[in-house]
A and B are shown apart, each in its own frame.
Chain A
Amino acid sequence: MSDEALSADHETRAAERPEDPAPTPEANLDALESLRDIVFGKRLEQLEVLRDRVGRLKVTLAELHASADQRDAAAARELAERIAATDALGARLDELQARATRIESEARTALAEGADAAEALARRVDAAEALAERVEGEGGLAERIEHVERLTDRVDDIERLAQRVQDIDRLDERLATVEPVRERVVDEDLRAEDVGAVLPRAVAARARKDGQLAASLRPTIEDTLEASVRRNPQALVDIIFPVLGPAIRKMIGSAITSMVGSINRAVESSFTIRGLKWRMQAWRTKRSYAEIALMHGLVYRVEELFLIQRGSGLLLAHASRGPESEEPEVISGMLTAITDFVRDSFDVEQGSEVETFRVGDLTLVVKGGSKAVLAATVRGVPPPALHDRLQTSIEEVHRDYGRQIDAFDGDMESLAGVEALLEPNLLEEAKGRKKRGPASLVFWVLLAVVAATAVTSLVTNRMRAARVERDVRQLARTLQAEPGIVVTDVHEGDERWIVEGLRDPLAADPEELRAKSAVDGEDVELRMGAYRSLEPVFVQRRLLDRLSVPDTVRATWRDRTLVLTGPVYSAWIRTALQAVADVPEVDGVDISGLTPDPALDALLVSRAVLIAQRVPVDTPVTDELIASVREQVEGARTTAGERFAVELQVITLLPRAEDEPKARAQAATVVRLLERAGIQSTEVFRSPADLARPKPDDLMPAGDSPEIRFDLTVRLAEGGR
C-alpha cells in the first residue's frame, strides 16, 4: 500500500464527517463498513498477500531448513529461529485479524447501542489503523522479506560451505587412504621395495611402447659394461663365451645343413677307384671321408673364387677349377652374412676384413675392397704370396670394373670380362700326383666347419690370450720349481710370451718341460742364461764329473760328504782329496773305504811307458818294437792278475786325411805282427775331425804327421768287482 492511497483515505474521512453531523446508525454502519472495507479490505488484501508470501517463505524456509538441517546444524538452528520469528509474525497477524473481527463485532454492538459507540468505534478503528500502521512500521515486512532473502543467500552460502565441508570430509577420507602411500613414498626402503615390485613390468610396458627406454638406458649400460670389462675382462669372456660360441656355431651350423644335402649327393656320386680307397681309409680310421681326401694330394690349391658385391652379398663373378658349387649365390650371400655378423658383433674396424677363416688344412681367404670382396677357397696351406696376389687382383677389379660394380643390377653378364681377371688366381701346387674329383663340394662341408671355427676363434682369441697367459705363468712356476733353473722375469713380448732366467747346464731341458706343459712352443720363448747352481745335486754331479772317478771306485753321498770305496791307484786319492777341498759346498770326503792298489799303480806306470812309445808311420816296424810291446802287455797282465783285463789298442792318429791309406796299411802290419807274437789288439783310427776334439786322456797331443800309438787300457774283469 502506498502512502498516497492512505492520505487519500484520510481526506475522504475528513470530508465525510463535516457533511454528516448527525449520522444515522444506518449511515454510520455503511460508513463504517465502507471504512472498514477501505481500511481492512486493502489491509486484508495486503495481509493475504503477505500471508501468502510468508507461507511461501515458510515453505522455502522449511525446505531450506530441511536441507540446511542436513548440512549444518548451526545454520539450521538459526533458520529455525528465523522461521519461529516469522511464525510469530504470522501469529500476530492472525491476532490482528482476530482483533479486527472483534472490533467489527463491537462496532456492530456499538452501532446498535448508539452513535457514541460509533464514535468510540471510530476511535478504536483509528487505533486499529494505528496498530496496523505500527505493525507495518514495526516489522517492515519488506525488510523482513529482504532479511529472509539475505537469509536465503546465507543459506546458499551455508550450502556451499556445507559442500566444502563435505569436500573436505571426502578429502580427509582420501587423505586417510593416501597416508600409507605417502609413508611409502617418504620411506626410501619402502619406496625401493615398491619400485622394485613394479620395475620389471614398467620396463616391459615402456619397451613395448617405444625405444625410448632402451635409448636412455643404453649409455649407462654401455658405460657400466665398459668399466666392468676394463676391470675384469676375464669375467665377461667367461660369460660370453658359452653363449656366443654355441650361438655362432649354431648359426653356421644351419648354413651347413642347407648345403650338406647336395654336397653329400655329389660326394656319393663321385665314386672313383681312389675315392673308394679313401672311403675305406676313412672307415678304417674312423675319420671323415673329406678329411682323408684332404690328406692326400696337394700343397695347396685355390678351388673357387667368389667376387661378391659389398653389402648386398650378391655374386658378381665366380670362377672355379673342377666341379663348382651348385648355388654360388647362396654361398656368396651366406659368406657376406657371416662376415657382416663378425664385423657387427666384434666391432671389427669398418672396411677392414676378417681375412682368413681356417681350420687344419682348409682356408677361406677374403680380400675386401670398397665395392667388392674377393673370397677364395683354398685347400692346403696358402702361401703368403697368394694373399698378395688376391689383394692385387681385387685392386685390379676395382680399377677396371669399379663403375660396373656400382651400376650392378644383378645381371652378371654386365661384368662378363671380370672372370678373366680372377682366373689366374686359380693356382695350385701339387705335392705329387694330381687330384681331381669332388673336392670342391667336400670342401664346402669343411669350409662351413672352418668358418664356424674361425668365427669362434675370433671370439676365443681374447679368451685364448688369457688362457695362454695363465699357462705360461704355470710353466714359469714349474720351471722355477725345477732344480737348477731360476726364473727371473715373465713378460709379454710382441708376438709371444718371454720367460727369462738362468739354467745350470746340468739341469733339465726347459724346452722339454715346456713340451710337457700346456704351452705351445709358438706362444713362449725361453731365454735361459747359464749359471752354476749351488744346489747339492748339481754340486755333487759337477764334482764327480771333474773327478772322473775310476771304474773300480764307487762314489756315494752321506749328506754332504763324499764317500769313496774300492781299489784305486794311489795317485787318484790325492786328486780326490784336492778336488773335494776346492768345493766349499761339500763338507768332506770319506776315503776310509778306498784301498790303494799297487797293481793299478803299476799299470798306470806301464801305460805311461807304452804311450811314450809312439812310432811315426813311415818308420819300418821292427821286431824289437813288437817284442817291446809284447813285453809290456804281458808284464801288465801278470801284475793285474785275474781281477783286471788288459787291452791293447793300436791307435793310428791321422791329422791329415791324405795319409790315411798309408797309415792304415802300416797299422794293419803292426796288428798282424802282434797277433803272430800272441798279442790281441784292437785297431782304432782317429780322423782329423776326432783329433780336433781331444780326449781327456790324450796325454800327448798329436803331431802334424801320422803316427801309431800303443795304448793299454785296464778295466775290471767280468765278475771281478
Chain B
Amino acid sequence: MNMMGEEMQPEVTKGAIRIEDVVKIYDPDGAAVMAVDHCSIDIPAGEICMIVGPSGCGKTTLLNAIAGFHDVTSGHIYLDDEMLCGPDNRKAEPGSDRIVVFQNGALFPWKTNLENIAFGPMMEGKLSKSEIYDKARSMMADAGLSGTENSYPGEVSSGLRRRVEIVRALMNDPKVLLFDEPYRALDSLTKSVMHEALLEIYYKNKVTIFFITHDLEEAIFLGHRLIIMSSRPCKPKKIVDVDIPHPRDYSVLTSPRFREIMNEAKGVVHEEAKKAFDAGEKEG
C-alpha cells in the first residue's frame, strides 16, 4: 500500500482523531432525534478521510462535535492525546487546531480576500500585522490566488472563493481540516479543478482531513479511506481503503482500480441511501 509518492512525503505526526463511542441525540422539545449512534472512527495523522453517507444521516452532526460547535450526548473525541470532549466536558472548545470549511462557504463578505486570510493569525496576535500580511500574500500566491488579494469574496468566482477559504483555514496552522461538502454547489468541471488544487495544497501542507461528501467519485479521488455511513443514526457501515498511490491526478479516474473501488463502494452507498429514503417515506 505504501507507494513511492507516499514515502516521499514528510511524516505527519500530529492531528490524529479518535472518535470513541459517540452518541448524539437532538432533543428539541422532547422529540428525541438520534443523529449519531455509538460511532467510533480512528483517523491517523495526515490521512484524508472521506465520510460518505445518505442525506440527513448525521455527518454534519459528527463534524460539528469535532469542531466544538455543539455537544455530544456521550462518548469521547480525542485529538492526538488531548481529550476534546468526554463525560466531563460534553462540548469541545472550538480551536484553531480544527478549522471547518463550510458547505456554503463562510468567508466574511465585508473583508477582502487578503483580510479574510489574515483573520486567524490577527486574532491569535502572535505575529505583527505586516508579517501576517506577508505570509498571507505568499500563501495566496502558492494557491494561485495572486491578483485577488484586494477583491471581496463576492467579486470572485465560487471556485476561487473555496480556495481562499482553504487558504484561510491553513493560515491557522491547523492539525485538522474539517470539510463539510465544500464543493457540493460547484459544477463538475470546476469541481475537478478544485480537487486537483486541494490535493496540491495538501501535498504542500500535510494535515489530517475529515471530508464529508455525497459524491463517490470525489471521495475515491481524494481519499486515503472512505468511511461509508449507515442511514440515520449514523455509524460506520463499511470502510474502503483506496489503495491508489498519492500524488494523484485526474488520470486515475479512468484507471481499472478506481472502477473496482467505485463498484465496491457503490453497492453499500446505494443500499444505505435506499434505507434513508424508505425511512423518510415512512416519516413523511
Pairing of A with B: no
